[in-house]
Amino acid sequence: MIPRPGRRARYVAVKAAYGGGTFGGLAGVTVALLATEAKLARKTIGQPTEKAPLAAGSYGKGRRGDKPLHLAIIGDSAAAGLGCERADQTPGALLAGGIARDLRRRVDLDVLAVTGARSADLEVQVARALRRPVDAAVIVIGANDVTHRVPPAAAAHDLARAVRTLRAADCVVIVGTCPDLGTVKPVMQPLRTVAARWSRRLAAAQTVAVVEAGGIAVSLGDLLARDFHELPHLWSADRFHPSPDGYARIVDVLLPSVLESTGVDHPVSVPISDRVQDLAVAADVAAHESGVEVEVLTGDGAPGRLARLRRRLPLVGRGAPEGPTDPAELTQDEPEPMR
């Protein structure tokens, strides 16, 4: 029996916890040992003392007379770009520049993401973003929910509320789901196994919550983990946040969904597979595989029960993203005051 839509995120989280190799399977590991490992990991990683470079502003030129696209970046330190040295290396700048390049349209970027944010903090960020009309929002959230042991169903509920609020304002919403924290180098066993399972539980619950609220979920999963040992430059000095090269890989995965949702009129990426699954199945698959996009199907069938599960190649080789717009051009675009 498939749970009612309002309960499906909780259902997926519980199923992930108790099905297959489970959290309960770690019964032989004492709570004291896990707590010690967590303290060691936090000590190794340390507390962030820097802020992400501020990337807010206008990107690209676009065509004269076209209305700029307003993009909002919402979430935690991974959304803000902590670990980058320059604003143009952050996810917001790369996404805004990529949209400006491929849509040939100026993009006005707002970055509302806050280091340390959890899903419960999204409501404030969304309210700030909606002080003016928003065309598209990209949310990356979840790592701090895992590290603070927020129940996946509760975190997914908070995320769904944020997505619904944005969708009610006619905003396209793309969510990069929780990455696999079991791949972070300073986290040792057995805490690494616990973090991996908790991350996947949250990612699966997030996927269900996002698509039922009208957004698009893109799995980040172990996107950087597979290359960590061979390509350590993908991680910043704290070995917890990505480096500029790592963020560029994340953007390569997110950008195709953003472009298609905002109206690009040419193919942006090569689909590897495209099939329809029950939403709970699609969410579980996406939680284990990076780069998978899940979007609810509407029309034929039961809305909210079937989802499109799409795998495609990351978006690469399209040239450099557009840079910040010349302030002089922005001045020219402003209407002259009435005399």
- Which residues are known catalytic residues? 77, 238, 241
Bridge partners (DSSP) of residue 294 are 217, 309
Q: What is the dihedral of CA 196, 201, 207, 208, to 10 degrees?
A: 170
| Nearest CA-CA partner of 204 in 111, 316, 309, 58 | 309
Identify residue 19 by its one-letter amino acid code.
G
Given strand 306-312, what is the order of strands in its sheet?
A: 57-59, 107-111, 69-75, 136-140, 172-176, 216-218, 292-296, 306-312, 271-278
- Number of other residues whose CB lies within 10 A of the CB of residue 231: 14
**Tokens read off for 333:** 């675009």
**Tokens read off for 225:** 């983990």
- Whole-angstrom distance, CA of residue 129 vs CA of residue 114: 13
